[in-house]
Structure formats: C-alpha cells, structure tokens
C-alpha cells in the first residue's frame, strides 16, 4: 500500500486543492487530492527530479 502525502510544491488558498505524492524506490506516484480514487500518474524518480528542477 502506498503512503500518500501532500506535495511540498502544492500551494493554494484552498487547502483541498493539492497534489499528493507517494514515493517508492522505483517510482513516484502523483494524484489529485480531490480525485484520490481515480487513476494517478506514475513517473520515475529521475523524471520527477527533472520536472521539479525545470520549474
């Protein structure tokens, strides 16, 4: 089972508007906190690092 937490990059005046992440050794899972039962995005740790560095 994945352990989800609010991304430190989430920032909004509405607390329910956030992105949640769950990290494993081989993947980073990303989901919308308001749609937690829907499918989520899975990327490699390297892909997440490149994405975060580009912001």
The predicted structure's pLDDT at residue 45: 95
Cβ proximity of 4 and 21 under 8 Å: yes
Cβ proximity of 18 and 12 under 8 Å: yes
The predicted structure's pLDDT at residue 9: 66
Domain span holding position 13: 5-53
Does 50 have pLDDT greater than 90? yes
Q: How many domains does the chain have?
A: 1
The predicted structure's pLDDT at residue 41: 96
Q: What is the mean pLDDT of the chain?
A: 87
21 burial level (CB within 10 Å; 0-12, 13-18, 19+): buried
Residue-wise pLDDT for 25-46, tens only, equals: 999 999 998 898 999 999 999 9
Count the residues in the chain.
55
Q: Which region, left, alpha or beta, applies to residue 47 given φ > 0 means left and ψ of -120 to 50 means alpha?
A: alpha
């Amino acid at each position: 089972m994945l352990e989800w937490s609010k991304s430190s990059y989430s920032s909004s005046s509405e607390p329910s508007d956030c992105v949640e992440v769950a990290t494993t050794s081989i993947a980073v899972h990303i989901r919308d906190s308001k749609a937690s039962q829907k499918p989520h995005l899975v990327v490699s740790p390297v892909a997440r690092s490149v994405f975060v560095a580009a912001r």
